[in-house]
């Protein structure tokens, strides 16, 4: 079955000159996808603005009103890192709606898997607060839709951005209907994501944080996916897998100190595709979070799509020029914490 993608030129209109979370992230990506003729092999999923009742299943009404008001008066900042301009409210609604439409297309059997090329990103957005460049939590909105509107009871969220998805964790911290799994550089912004954060109440044991030291590369990430994520997913048996992917863990990215390569990102995507095919009829949706080196992000998105389509991956940037640090002790500890031994 085919692979879908979501994109709309409106995503470029949330922009602030000089900010790393800029329109060029998607402009460069779309240029690379056209050059590699990947768009011709993908199914385009049209985004629409997320219905307000869906958005309010995740975010507080007063916060949604705040974002609208800041946007309507010409823009401003929700915090020092997180800007809003006059188009941001509409763009953020279209970003959340774009991923929701992709999940709907997957659930309806129109595509097997896909990638929502949306912005602004979402995984830092809390129920009542935007932060970390994020306005609305796109993946949380899509997850709530899958659970409440499509009758699912088990969603696996895999987050392998450079930064911990504190917003997604907060929203689903007390439920067993979501298994939230995050790899991230630690300690790093936003400061959360310690291995001891495992959920509470009905959700205890259903939050899994992998706080990685700086300098972990392809081999380390592969070990985490193979030795921690895969057995957890087999035990959980998700009905769909949703992925927050940030390309700021690439060795060329200016904001982090991780050493993933474009080829490494593709290998992780292949692992997730295999996992979805084994556990949930191939249902797998990616959504874009971080990634701030334009070349690294663009080529890694292309490689991710190539992996989802089962094609050969093109990596013009090559492997990290630095050696990777070992994480044997962390893996042993996490296996014990989550009863994988």
Q: Are 119 and 11 in contact (CB under 8 A)?
A: yes
Q: How far apart are alpha carbons 28 and 234 in whole angstroms? A: 37
Query: Which helix (H) or strand (E) covers residue 64, if one does?
Result: helix 61-72
Q: Residue 217: how many CB atoms within 10 A of its CB?
A: 20
Query: Closest by alpha carbon to 137, among 291, 7, 289, 282?
Result: 289
Pairing between strand 240-245 and 155-159?
A: parallel
124 is catalytic: yes
Q: Residue 59: how many CB atoms within 10 A of its CB?
A: 24
120 phi/psi in degrees, rounded to 5: -70, 160
Q: Which of 14, 123, 124, 184 is catalytic?
A: 124
Q: Are 135 and 92 in contact (CB under 8 A)?
A: yes
Q: Does a cis peptide bond (omega within 30 degrees of 0) precede residue 41?
A: no
Q: How far apart are alpha carbons 338 and 168 in whole angstroms? A: 20
144 phi/psi in degrees, rounded to 5: -60, -40
Question: Which residues are known catalytic residues?
Answer: 124
């Amino acid at each position: 079955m085919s692979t879908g993608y979501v994109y709309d030129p409106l995503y470029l209109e949330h922009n602030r000159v000089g900010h790393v979370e800029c329109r060029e992230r998607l402009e460069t990506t779309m240029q690379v996808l056209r050059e590699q003729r990947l768009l011709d092999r993908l199914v385009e999923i049209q985004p629409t603005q997320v219905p307000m009742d869906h958005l309010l299943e995740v975010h507080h009404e007063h916060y949604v009103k705040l974002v609208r008001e800041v946007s309507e008066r010409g823009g401003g900042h929700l915090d020092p890192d997180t800007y809003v301009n006059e188009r941001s409210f509409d763009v953020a609604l279209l970003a959340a709606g774009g991923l929701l439409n992709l999940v709907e297309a997957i659930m309806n059997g129109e595509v097997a898997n896909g990638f929502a090329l949306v912005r602004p990103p979402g995984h830092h957005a809390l129920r009542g607060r935007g932060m970390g460049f994020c306005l609305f939590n796109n993946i949380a909105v899509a997850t709530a839709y899958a659970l409440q509107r499509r009758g699912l009871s088990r969603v696996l969220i895999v987050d392998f951005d450079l930064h911990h998805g504190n917003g997604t964790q907060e929203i689903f911290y007390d439920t067993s209907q979501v298994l939230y799994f995050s790899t991230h550089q630690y300690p790093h912004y936003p400061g959360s994501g310690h291995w001891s954060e495992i959920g509470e109440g009905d959700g205890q044991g259903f939050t899994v944080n992998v706080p990685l030291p700086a300098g972990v590369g392809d081999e380390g990430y592969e070990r985490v996916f193979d030795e921690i994520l895969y057995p957890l997913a087999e035990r959980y048996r998700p009905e769909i897998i949703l992925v927050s992917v940030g390309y700021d863990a690439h060795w060329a990215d200016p904001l982090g100190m991780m050493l993933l390569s474009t080829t490494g990102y593709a290998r992780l995507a292949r692992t997730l595709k295999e996992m979805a095919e084994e556990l949930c009829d191939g249902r797998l949706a990616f959504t874009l979070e971080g990634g701030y080196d334009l070349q690294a992000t663009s080529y890694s998105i292309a490689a991710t799509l190539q992996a989802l389509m089962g094609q050969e991956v093109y990596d013009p940037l090559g492997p990290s020029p630095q050696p990777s640090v070992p994480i044997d002790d962390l893996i042993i500890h996490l296996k014990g914490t989550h009863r994988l031994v």
